[in-house]
Amino acid sequence: MTRPAGHNRPVTPTPPGGAYHRRKDRGTPARRGQDPAADPQPRQQAVPLLNVAGVRAPSCGLLDVSFTVDAGHHHAVVVPHTSGTALLEIIAGTAYPDHGQVYLAGQPVAGRPASELIRHNVGYLPVTPRWHPGRTVVGVLEAAVRWQMLYRRQATALTGREQITDVVDRCNLGALADAESDRLAPQWARMLDLAVILLHRPRLILVDQPMTGPGEPAASFRQAITDLPDTVAALFAVPTPSDAAGLADRVTVISHGRTSGHPEPGTAQR
């Protein structure tokens, strides 16, 4: 796996311009006098939001990885930690595979790591929280809103303050709103990173080792993921299938570097 020059830092997630509504498939209308069952035109299959096709990066333990993620689904990949991190970086466009390709909404990712395709559609939550020195929790979110307004010019019905209030509530950060961000416990710092991602409204959220366990940050994380809009997909890289319980509705297992199966977690139905 090779990394493009100048792209060693994590990709800042930025979202697409608004949500969309699914429409029920009413079928293809039959021409007058024609039997609908004899319609020769095949139905066009929907393009998956994410298509990982034959990705190979032997130095990271990825030998042949293929799977798809549809819009609105929460998908977990069971893979060793270092390989999972490498896979998410390839999907996020901050690293290149030696072979294979990643498609986002039908468009290839490789070769365009800093493109609008990635920055406007993908949010990446790494294991290590980002560092925001000298800013409070609200200050970090205010900076994210200013960046969005200056560079994205994204239309929204909410004011900047309303957007911040919304993500603070969704990530259960109200009690920490005025706390110094660089003094937060690591799990709450990750929740702040998730709040920044949610501000940008991405179509796909990549999570390296989601928070699990009985603690309040883990419970807040699970709730925030559960409350994602139906048009937003999430992909988790987890070391064991049990880490996907309660989060994912689909699981792909990568064994010895290769995609080996798609078991359904019994407690992960949405």
pLDDT score of 159: 72
pLDDT score of 169: 96
Domain regions of the chain by residue span: 47-121+202-270, 131-201
Q: Which two tokens stand for residue 243?
A: 């880490």
pLDDT score of 36: 46
pLDDT score of 18: 39
Q: Which of 184, 211, 205, 202 is nearest to 130 (CA)?
A: 184
**Span 47-121+202-270: which CATH code?**
3.40.50.300
Could you give the 3-state DSSP secondary structure of residue 161?
A: helix
Could you give the 3-state DSSP secondary structure of residue 74?
A: strand
Residue listed under structure tokens 């990982």: 52
pLDDT score of 156: 55
pLDDT score of 94: 83
pLDDT in single tens digits along all 270 residues of the chain: 655 554 444 444 444 443 333 334 444 444 444 454 554 554 455 789 999 999 999 999 999 999 999 999 999 999 998 999 999 999 988 888 999 999 988 888 876 555 566 667 899 999 999 988 889 999 999 998 887 765 555 545 457 788 899 999 999 999 999 999 999 999 999 999 999 999 888 999 999 999 988 899 999 999 999 999 999 999 999 999 888 888 999 999 999 999 986 555 543 333
pLDDT score of 268: 39
DSSP codes of every residue in the chain = -B--TT--SPPPP---SS---------PPPPTT--GGG--SPPPPPPPSEEEEEEEEGGGTEEEEEEEE-TT-EEEEE--HHHHHHHHHHHHTSSB-SEEEEEETTEE-TT-TTSHHHHTTEEEE-SSPP--TT-BHHHHHHHHHHHIIIII----SS-HHHHHHHHHHHTT-GGGTTSBGGGS-HHHHHHHHHHHHHHT--SEEEEES---SSSHHHHHHHHHHHTS-TT-EEEEEESSGGGGTTT-SEEEEEETTEEEE-PPPTT---
pLDDT score of 198: 93
